[in-house]
Structure 1
Amino acid sequence: MRLRTAFIAACSLLAAAPAAAERYIKSTALQTCMDDSDFSASLFNLILTPNNRTVSLDVVATSTLSGNISAHLEVFAYGISIFNYKLDPCDLDISQLCPISPGQFDIETDFTLSQSVINDIPGIAFTMPDLDGTAKVRIYDDNSTQVACVQAVLSNGKTVDNAVVKWVTAVIAGIALIVSAFASASGHSSTAAHIAANGLSLFGYFQNVAIIGMGAMKLPPMTAAWVQDFQWTMGIIRVGFMQDIFNWYIKATGGTPTTLLQSLSSVSILIQKRSLEYLSKYSTIAERSNNDSDLTTISSTYVLHGFRRIAYLAGIEITNLFLTGFVFFLVFSVFITLALCLVKLILEGLSKVGAVRFDRFAEFRQRWLTIIKGTMYRLVLVGFPQMTILSLWELTRRDSPATIVLAIVMFLMVIGLIGWAAFKVIRLAQRSVAIHKNPAYILYSDSAALNRWGFIYVQFRATAYYFIIPVLLYMFVKACFIAFGQSSGTTQGIVLMIVELFYLVLLSYYKPYMDRRTNIFNITIQAVNFTNALLFFFFTGVTKVPSYVTGVMGVIFFILNAAFSLILLIMILVSCTVAIMSKNPDTRYQPMKDDRASFIKSTQQLPEVLELEALGATVRGNAPKY
């Protein structure tokens, strides 16, 4: 009792949303929880409003029971029993249940509970976001023999899956990108490198949360809602008219779009979680179509996990998920390209009218095509996990012949571009070592190479230019297991934990980033990633921990990641603010040991010399090619 009271009190402190104007508890799915249950429902909608003590019930059910029955209601929160109540169907004034007759029946009614029953419901049930609540009803015949068991997942409408979180994280990540570009154009190379590296790490952390949430593990509701906040990093963003276009495209190219979201009035949806582990014993696989052959159903209730959970919570049909991520990646890439071209035109126009000095932003104005190419490579690196996961997963889905072709082309393109960039950087670094005994010389003294390939190595110290290879392998292994392991959440949980641990050890041992501060920043992020993977390992159920332990871990996951995300966002905002307000923000950072700043500075101070050297190299026929 003390454990339950303490836990409920602690959870009350986490209620992130204020009480709504009208509190309620609802359920939209009813499942059997015993073998040969004599009662089952294909449609179930229940809502309890405590202010007026009213219960609204809409049920389409099938029963083989007859005569008078009795029931026992038990409510669980985070695996802990918090409410018990004996039910007499005759007291509910529902004629179909008193007495009950065999056959199918529809119930659509409202009834009122006594105030004493309402008072017995803990307040946490109405205030805790993403309540991990379950109500189980055991039905008995006249001989007190249990003849049926049904279970409903409860919700109070409050959630941490919030549009504000999505917008704030996206905007601050975008601010880091813009400030980094501005600092670079202003000649503050050290500031630009640090903000860009930290911004990329921040985005990578958000992506890791989204990726692990795509696993097929049975997640507590709060965990499933929180990972949904970061699916924008994977291009999972719902736009209504785009979804209509994707449906048309799937049909036009020989596929069959799913219509699950259009059928919510006639079917029930369950988000698979640990408290529903009985489903693995009592559920069957329904072969509805090629697209839905792996969808667990009971009667007309759909149990969602992995990519299906992500798509459903985002309001996207599962057949549109790949196209959604694919199109948003292309749209964002085109938008950035057009924005850079527009900036080029504006700067040239301002320069001609004398509003901007001829030497302002000279590097961008002279090498804008190279900079745009480098930016495109950067976008491919950022989108590497997204497009690798979605493309590989689409090969298992096969929504239509056209989407298969798009997936193959995108996968090969992303792998090819990133692989080529890594190969070029390694060759440049090896050439620099052979000629100058220092990999930083060519990597940083040649502005063309820096603008085009710098995204591969600027975040690392010069001697760790090769570390992009372990980073790409780390991303690729995770992508493969997320994409191909949707049928086994246990396998995914074990492999992800091992991969995150290995990468944490690798970062801690090699410390590959540009300076001590950046190494600490990234190692801390990876430590949190490993902690997340460890929690998700427990969500697989391999350890057989009690349900309330899993519930507590779900809350811990939310608290840890919400607090850590807030700290990272504040750090990024402070760095960006200082970079904008300070006349020389580079003084905040210690000179890097690879002496890259001196190489970059020399190229900025002696552009004419470099141009003459490049011209001479061209005449001699040995100009470097990038």
Structure 2
Amino acid sequence: MKLILLAYFAVLSNILSSVEGRVRYSKRPNHKLGTAEYAECMSNAPIVFNRFDASYYTRNLSVVFNILGYSSVDANVTFDIIVEAYGEQRARFTFDPCEINLNTVCPVARDTAITTQGILPVSPQDVQMIPKIAWGIPDFEGLVRFRMYRSEDIAASSIDNSTPLACMIATLNNGHTFKNKVVKALSGTALALSIAGVLGFYVIGMEHSTYLTRQVFINSVPSLQHMGELLQCIAFTGAIGITQPKVLVAWASNFAWILGFITNKEIENSLESFRKHSNGNLSSPKIGGVHRRDAVATNPQSPIPGFYHGFQGLATEVGTLTTNLFTLTLIWFLISLAIAGGIVIIFVLIIKFLRQTRIIAKSSCDYITRYWFRVLFNACMRWVLVCWPVLVTMIIYQFTLREAYGPVILAALLLALLFGLFLWLTIKVIRVITTSGLSNEDNPETLISDPKIYTWWGWLYLDLKERRWLYVYACFAHYFSFALVLALVQQFAKIQTILLFVIEIISFILLAVFRPFVGFKNSFCVFLVALTRVVSFALLIPIAFDLAIIPKVIIAIILIIIQGLVFSFMALWSLWNFITMLGTAWPAISYTVPWLRRLIDEYQRQLHIDFENPAVSASEKLSTEEIIPQESNFEEPSTTKKEGNVDTKEDGNDDVFSLVNASPMRPASTIPSHSCDNGINEMQRTV
């Protein structure tokens, strides 16, 4: 029995000792700080570096470094390494490389390459100088300054009064950052879900009547416009011309793709070739960008790593040059515009195929198939409207660089095209209003419901109230003034942040006073995005002033939390809108989203009232004001002739529908209620 007890205690003691050892081992710190971006901080240096890597490991208390360079002098050298964190010097190491057996620099020889790899031991006292927060905080604000001096100069005076032979500066990275591919994927998914949800409900609304399409579009939010403006706001916060905390630039870079800042090695090589053939200066100090660990050359005029300023800092974080930003934006804008147009064309071809094969009714979606070019025009112009702030901003910013004439010419042509489109649009609408007699102030709603206007220009004011359609010009003025300040005042951070805040305040006040957007949910999204812009640029004002780096980081984190919460809310709302759209469209699921059910019930009720008593006044019908105000009727004065289920004008102008019985529209008796369109006696507004 005693032997059994002794054996039991022996086994138990071994288990406890092994567990204790594992616990002690797991509690040992295993932190790491390593260099990321680097650049030379001295021009015309006798010793130049092509590579500088350094990593500090807390477990073995050592710094491992790797240096590649070239020497043009003979000298005995002394290394000086300074570690800075959050604006303060935390550690300094001055030593003779011969003491740690760095033979290639002991001494350095003229016209020889330097290849040095070494391990520098660190004392526990030096480790205590580095704050513990450095090991876990995202986007650690740290720098390493590496200099080489002549040993004779240091012996004759002091190291601070000596002239270095070489100088490098590199940022420190602890492996934690707000720059994350998951956030990029989530932002792209949220934008795609918002588009898919709106388009899905748009088609569902056409299954019942074109009368419902505008109401459905406004109630299925957030839309492309809402989500696009929010993503642009977050991305632009990283492009303000202030010395920004690294954490804010890293966060903004997740959304830089909405600005067209998407690049890879092949695109960069093509852009460099384009700039080279248009007298581009590759060593211009305005180019921006610094080198990472896989770089093989260093530009002495690049921005100092760790100091992120305006578009240069955002370009560095994205991995491109500032002179390439406009060209990247233009390339991806044209690609996205082609994708939007291709989706519309493919959809029209699918509808035609389904009609030819009689899978759907012969007259289903007649408006889309007959007037596909108007649908295509509305879709493309809606995307141009979303991209307008980005395009104007990058055009004006390209003018400030003046580094190569090729991108400047492209920017000038695009600016002329955009403003030509704006002027043509204004002249066209004014001419239609004048010639059609729609300028009567007693009945401004006819502008909204006139087929000569909204079938072409509905993308401008689709979500605006009838009496507030001119608010779209206030939006253009807002975008243009924002672009001017953001692009032209990059070198005056304090003035820029204050002006941007004033612009957003004025825009928000106009929005609150006029309340131009129709529908509660639509207005809520607009107000939420506008308020986010105001708060974002308000928080950037103190960062523009001479605050210490730690208060700047705290303000930046508060801004990230606010923007992150708003983005998460809008993304979840887009997901819910998409899910409810799928549930409504799926035949096996007998579910209809409540607001759509109310719209359909109201439409059916008004159909019944109009069928029993066509002379009943519209004011006696049940109001749908809680969902969206009714559109006013517009009856074309000319006589019409019936062609199937479509009313066309007898004078041969078949590009305009007559809106007889436009509100509500009676379903055609020969077409089932589940078809895409019930006869199209009413002209729909297209996106």
Q: TM class, shorter-chain normalised?
A: 0.7 to 0.9
Bigger Cα Rg:
2
Q: Which one of 199, 214, 231 corresponds to residue 181 of structure 1? A: 199
Give yes or no for the alignment of 1:350 onto 2:354. Answer: yes
| Counterpart for residue 237 of structure 1 | 262
Give yes or no for the alignment of 1:331 onto 2:335. Answer: yes
Relative to 1, partners in 2 of residues 1:241 and 1:71: Cα closer, same or farther, differing over 3 Å?
closer
Counterparts of 2:597 and 2:525, CA distance in 1: 19
| Counterpart for residue 224 of structure 2 | 199
Counterparts of 1:237 and 1:325, CA distance in 2: 8
| Counterpart for residue 93 of structure 1 | 100
Q: Deviations over 1:585-620 (max 9, x none)?
A: 4347894489654559999xx99699546335849x
Counterparts of 2:38 and 2:269, CA distance in 1: 28
Relative to 1, partners in 2 of residues 1:536 and 1:433: Cα closer, same or farther, differing over 3 Å?
same
Give yes or no for the alignment of 1:128 onto 2:146. Answer: no
| Counterpart for residue 216 of structure 1 | 241
Secondary structure of 1:186's counterpart equals: helix
Give yes or no for the alignment of 1:379 onto 2:383. Answer: yes
Shift of 1:395: 2.4
Counterparts of 1:344 and 1:357, CA distance in 2: 15
| Counterpart for residue 283 of structure 1 | none
Which amino acid is 1:565 matched to? F
Counterparts of 2:216 and 2:632, CA distance in 1: 16
| Counterpart for residue 503 of structure 1 | 507
| Counterpart for residue 413 of structure 2 | 409
1:139-178 alignment runs, 5 A limit: 146-147=160-161, 153-178=171-196
Alignment length, in residue pairs? 569
| Counterpart for residue 249 of structure 1 | 274
Counterparts of 2:135 and 2:99, CA distance in 1: 23
Counterparts of 1:385 and 1:482, CA distance in 2: 11
Q: Which one of 51, 54, 57 corresponds to residue 49 of structure 1? A: 57
| Counterpart for residue 583 of structure 2 | 581
Which amino acid is 1:439 matched to? P
1:292-311 alignment runs, 5 A limit: 305-311=309-315
Q: Retained in 1: the 8 A contact 2:222–2:570?
A: no
Identity of aligned residues (%): 16
Q: Which one of 452, 460, 466 corresponds to residue 462 of structure 1? A: 466
Q: Retained in 1: the 8 A contact 2:63–2:119?
A: yes
Q: Retained in 2: the 8 A contact 1:398–1:404?
A: yes
- Structure 2 residue runs of 5 or longer lacking an equivalent are 1-28, 206-211, 585-591, 600-622, 660-684
Secondary structure of 1:216's counterpart equals: coil
- Structure 1 residue runs of 5 or longer lacking an equivalent are 1-19, 270-285, 287-294
Residues 363-372 or 592-601, more deviating: 592-601
RMSD between aligned residues: 4.6
Give yes or no for the alignment of 1:615 onto 2:650. Answer: yes
Which amino acid is 1:314 matched to? V
Q: Retained in 2: the 8 A contact 1:504–1:526?
A: yes
Q: Deviations over 1:336-368 (max 9, x none)?
A: 212211221111111111112234333222221
Q: Which one of 376, 400, 403 corresponds to residue 396 of structure 1? A: 400
Counterparts of 2:641 and 2:464, CA distance in 1: 26
Counterparts of 1:597 and 1:561, CA distance in 2: 35
Secondary structure of 1:214's counterpart equals: coil
Counterparts of 1:607 and 1:24, CA distance in 2: 79
Secondary structure of 1:26's counterpart equals: strand
Q: Deviations over 1:155-198 (max 9, x none)?
A: 22332222222222122212222332232233242121233664
Shift of 1:552: 1.0
Relative to 1, partners in 2 of residues 1:171 and 1:423: Cα closer, same or farther, differing over 3 Å?
farther
Shift of 1:455: 1.7
Q: Which one of 441, 446, 449 corresponds to residue 441 of structure 1? A: 446
Secondary structure of 2:54's counterpart equals: strand
1:55-134 alignment runs, 5 A limit: 55-59=63-67, 75-77=84-86, 79=87, 83=90, 93=100, 108-113=116-121, 116=124, 120=128, 121-134=130-143
Shift of 1:551: 1.7
| Counterpart for residue 550 of structure 1 | 552
Counterparts of 2:181 and 2:88, CA distance in 1: 31
Q: Retained in 1: the 8 A contact 2:84–2:91?
A: yes
Q: Deviations over 1:404-457 (max 9, x none)?
A: 3221111111122234335545666786754583333341353x6334211211
Q: Deviations over 1:115-140 (max 9, x none)?
A: 73686355532332211234679999
